[in-house]
Amino acid sequence: MQQKIAHVWAREILDSRGNPTVEVELTIGEHIASASVPSGASTGQHEAHELRDNDPARYDGLGVLQAVAHVNEDISKEIIGQALDQNKLDNLLIKLDGTPDKHRLGANAILAVSMAFARAMALAQNQELYAYLGELVQTTHFTLPQPLINIINGGKHADSGLDIQEFMLIPKDFVLFRDKIRVGSEIFHTLKDILHKANYAVGVGDEGGFAPHLESNEQALDLMVRAISEAGYTTDQVRIGLDAAASSFYKDGAYHLNAAKPPQKLTADELLAWYQKLNHAYPLNILEDGFAEDDWAGFQSLNTQLGKQLLIVGDDLTVTNTKRIELAIQKQAINAVLIKLNQIGTVTETLAAINLTKQAGWQPIISHRSGETTDTFIADLAVGTAAPYLKSGSMSRGERIAKYDRLLVIEDKISG
């Protein structure tokens, strides 16, 4: 279905880290919708280009006034008055930008328009956003995703000193989404009590997980297992996921684990052996970005050794890009793909990445970014595409909880 765009307007707002990002309002008929884009700290070099002003006099160079101007000038001239559907809009934006990585207009400018259009189209058709997105990919049965709840932050998301970026709870042995969220919250608060009693800091990192200065990555896992038990659950009911974000500790051909005592400099084979040791010692289900973003051989070895036991997830490796996902399929490097809207820059391309992942028999995991907004688009995206997993952060920080709360609303809608 095509609809005419009556108005579009962008502005500079702040994300959850207090850095600028782009928000767009778009009008179709009498329906006004808005969308805002997130920003990552641990970003892959193959991601679509996030346009920043680089003006040291504003926000340390992180302003997005150029991206805002591109929406209000270049893009608005092309789309206002046009009758478009999602595919036509997104392809028009891609063509207007004219670069492989969207660096002329900025993926942040393009994505904000694409998301706002999707939301306005849903309103114009009297649909929930997840239903609108579901029609685009022909979803016949809506389901709630399994939440991956970040409970301890490391890497670039905190100053904890931990090498692994995310330590996640996976409350699997529960039917209802609301019960999975309840269990995650109970374990989160149990861990807080454990840390507090042991005189560790209980402040949180970018994604809402705790960021204590621990002696090792293994100690973080030990604390998680203890918190699961003391909250009244077993590690059969609640498993653990890791986002190593290995690109962040890869340098000069080696992997540097600075949280180890003493610090270690590992080859790819030695890093794989460490992951195998962790998998043997702890109740792992997911390992994301276990190797650097272009270490295809490392990923292939990891998938060969652990792919039948764990979800081996590509994020920096695949960056929601169908060309990178196709290469991963050819190399059998992973068996799951992280999906981030702003890595690729349009709703249509994101849906294509999800479809390609499913066609390979792999698992798509819808994900937030470390610099988030209160926009809940990814919650509807997960339901609309029947994605099996969602990463939205921890059980604290409003920009993380907003996604979970939206899913609680959706659960009522699709079950009632």
> Catalytic residue positions?
207, 340
Q: What is the largest CA-CA distance in the chain?
A: 63
- Rounded to the nearest 5 percent, the helix, strand and coil shares of the chain are 45, 20, 35
Which phi-psi region, left, alpha or beta, contains residue 68 (left: φ > 0; alpha: ψ -120 to 50)? alpha
Determine contact, residues 172/285, Cβ cutoff 8 Å. Answer: yes
Which phi-psi region, left, alpha or beta, contains residue 351 (left: φ > 0; alpha: ψ -120 to 50)? alpha
Query: Cα(179)–Cα(185) distance, rounded to whole angstroms?
Result: 10
Strands in 3-14's sheet, in edge-to-edge order, are: 31-36, 20-28, 3-14, 83-84
Crossing angle of helices 129-137/377-384, nearest 10°? 40
Query: Cα(39)–Cα(21) distance, rounded to whole angstroms?
Result: 8
Query: Cα(249)–Cα(398) distance, rounded to whole angstroms?
Result: 29
For the chain, what's the residue count? Answer: 416
Query: Cα(57)–Cα(358) distance, rounded to whole angstroms?
Result: 46
Query: Cα(400)–Cα(138) distance, rounded to whole angstroms?
Result: 28
Which phi-psi region, left, alpha or beta, contains residue 232 (left: φ > 0; alpha: ψ -120 to 50)? left
Query: What type of residue sits at position 134?
Result: G
Give the β-pairing of 284-288 and 264-266. Answer: unpaired
Q: What is the DSSP-derived secondary structure letter of residue 339?
A: E
Backbone angles phi, psi at 172, to 5 degrees: -85, -35
Q: What is the DSSP-derived secondary structure letter of residue 48?
A: P
C-alpha neighbours within 13 Å on the C-beta side of residue 259: 20
Task: Print burial letters for 44-73: b (CB count within 10 Å at least 16), e (below 16).
Answer: bebbbbbbbbeeeeebeebbbbbbbbbbbe
Q: What is the DSSP-derived secondary structure letter of residue 20?
A: E
Q: Exposed (0-12), middle (13-18) or buried (19+): which is 321, by Cβ within 10 Å?
A: buried
Say how many Å lie between the first and final Cα of the chain, rounded: 28
